[in-house]
Amino acid sequence: MPSTEKELSLLVVDDHKMFCQAIQNSLKQNLNIKEVEIAFDGEEAVAMMREYQFDVIFMDYKMKHMNGDEAARRILELYPHIKIIAISMFEDKETVEAMFSAGCLGYVLKTSSIETLNEAIDKICAGEKYIDPVIFNTTSLLK
């Protein structure tokens, strides 16, 4: 997305405050992103959807109160147009499959670069699925 017009609204959902703030600050540098909000668990993310219309959500898998796969399901039941990218430290096949089964369109590792996050945004906004290259090389998912 080479445009300089800011158009995307994002939500980062993770129960680690410093991680969320770092991602928020980094994603604000993307010229196509107009806002980045934060929720600290799945329940808060579902509640925030009633007030805001996010285009893309980065959703952690393992959180207090409600895991990412359940939050993704609930959000997509009400707002099927939302694009959700899982962001997790887990790279096992079961977790990756759980998030894709919940409706996520992408999966990136927390060890990935900001460039990888931006690439994931670009791909899912273009109608493609995205999986972190590290995972893609270790699983047959999406091959």
Domain borders along the chain are 8-136
What is the model's pTM?
0.89
Superfamily of domain 8-136: Response regulator (3.40.50.2300)
Question: Predicted confidence band at 137 (pLDDT cuts at 50, 70, 90)?
Answer: low
Quick: pLDDT tens for 54-74: 999 999 999 988 999 999 999
Contact 73, 79 (CB under 8 A): no
Q: Report CA torsion sign: 63, 68, 73, 77.
A: positive
In whole angstroms, what is the distance from residue 71 CA to residue 34 CA?
24
pLDDT given at position 135: 85
Quick: pLDDT tens for 80-134: 999 999 999 999 889 999 999 999 999 999 999 999 999 999 999 999 999 998 8
